[in-house]
Amino acid sequence: MWSLHLYPLFFVLVIFLGAFFKGASSTSDQYRLVKRLFTNYSSEIRPVIDKSTVTTITLRFFVSKILEMDEKQQTLKVNSWLTLEWFDEYMRWNTSDYGGLEYFKIPSDKLWMPDIVLYDNADEKYEDYRKNQICVIYSNGFINWAAPVIFKSYCKIDVRRFPFDKQECPFKYGPWQHDGTEVEVHGIGNNSVFRSDGQWDLVELEVRNNVEFYPDSPGIPYTDATFVVHLNRRPFFYVFNLVMPCVLISIFTMISFFLPADSGEKVSFGITVLLSLTVFLLLVAESMPPTSDVPVIGQYTAATMIMVSFSVSMAILTLHVHHQGPNIRPIPRWVRKFVLGYLARCLFMCRDKKIYKRHLRGSRSRERVPIMEYTETCNSLLSNQDMEDNGIVIQMNGPNENIKINNPSSMLHTSMTSSGNRQTFLYGRDQLKVLNQILQQVRTLTDKLEERDKKIIWQNEWKEVAEVVDRLFLILYILGTVATMLIIAAQITF
């Protein structure tokens, strides 16, 4: 009965001992194989038996993530997966002689490594990324070297469509010392392992295998593999932080045309908008390389600045028309005809002519007692030398009737009677002098009132001219803004 319980334990023990001896045997086989392969092996010599044999290097390049795109320095930094594959003719063995061992792993420092470098390296120095890595060696001499590597390469940034741009950044790999008669590079890659950082999308990873000649080695071919990274920028960050504020500023500038000229805020509002646009333009310039290509967002910001400057200039002109000052003059006939006539009708601005007619009728209806007749009569009477003791009787038969002057023969006192609309004033010589002075003052005051009424009418007409001109400038600003947006959209699309 105890023997039946011992069977499972015996079976487990046999399996464990078999695995132990097999692992010990495989480790021993690998130790013997490594000792044999590297006894007379040199990592400094190209591993071919016949020196005319060309070593073909298969270079697999995969972009995992975009670490940094520096538009100002025109560099691209990526996290990549790099794989190098080739055949080493001195790393071959018969698997049956070493317990069926098909491959083993060993540090890359012990093997010959192709001198593959990144031609357009933008890092501070060329670092040997091949060292301190693991290589897999197969029984047929196939070598596989793979490691994650961070590369920083120069990339000519096309900023004309920023932030709606597409970039093409090449990563050129090739041997530096081994020419095409010794080492041939063949590139393979795709974008299957890419993870977006939220700003860039990898559209395509194009591979170009080239044979080129360089001036330092004339007539000698060199092979390389160029991986062109096609990137699309996600523009929403810049749309919300740069484009949208510029659009809102353009709209606010448009609203400034509706500010009345009497408010005194038209020019100050335009200057504030212009300063804010200058700040946005500086933000764009800080992130762009110092090239002659101006990005579309910079073009749009500059065009908006020009339009805002135009609006400020037009606001100053409108204020100049609106406020004529003390030396106001009537508007010219051609201004009345074309601006207040044709242009006002084209802009759907109807003039309220009743206001001016009513104002003018009120000033004309203010026809008081004919002051000139009073003054001239008094002057003629005062110049008469026969009037020494006599008095003067001035009769007024209503406000619109003529004046009657009587010279009574004698007069002891001054009296005044009234009967209906008939009024009689009896004056002496001294009173007539005072009356003459009063009449002159009244005439001066009447002239000033009439002059003031004319200036008020002229001022109202100039204000209406300013409103028509301001509406015209608003239409021109809207057309300029729309044209600017269409031109920018055409550049982005095409």
The DSSP-derived string for 51-106 is TTPPEEEEEEEEEEEEEEEETTTTEEEEEEEEEEEEE-TTS---GGGGTT--EEEE
Supply the pLDDT for residue 422.
Answer: 47
Supply the pLDDT for residue 350.
Answer: 64
CA-nearest of 186, 145, 156 to 54 is 186
Supply the pLDDT for residue 168.
Answer: 93
| Exposure b/e, 449-480, CB count within 10 A at least 16 = b | eeeebeeebeeebbbbbbbbbbbbbbeebeeb
CA-nearest of 126, 89, 114 to 184 is 114
Identity of the residue numbered 90: Y
Give the dihedral sign, CA 134/136/142/145.
Answer: negative
Question: Regarding beta strands 103-107 and 142-154, do their DSSP bridges make them parallel or antiparallel, or are they unpaired?
Answer: unpaired
Q: Domain 41-234, CATH 1.10.3720.10 — does that match?
A: no
Supply the pLDDT for residue 371.
Answer: 47
Supply the pLDDT for residue 268.
Answer: 77
Supply the pLDDT for residue 394.
Answer: 47
Give the dihedral sign, CA 290/292/298/303.
Answer: positive
The DSSP code for 110 is G
Question: Exposed, middle or buried: residue 10 (CB in 10 Å: 0-12, 13-18, 19+)?
Answer: exposed
Residues of the chain short of pLDDT 50, as ranges, are 1-8, 10-25, 354-369, 371, 374, 381-382, 384-426
Supply the pLDDT for residue 244.
Answer: 84
Supply the pLDDT for residue 482.
Answer: 85
Q: Where are the domains of the chain?
A: 41-234
Supply the pLDDT for residue 86.
Answer: 95
Residues contacting 454, CB < 8 A, separation 6+: 330, 363
Residues contacting 1, CB < 8 A, separation 6+: none
3-state secondary structure string across 345-386: HHCCCCCCHHHHHHHHHHHHCCCCCCHHHHHHHHHHHHCCCC
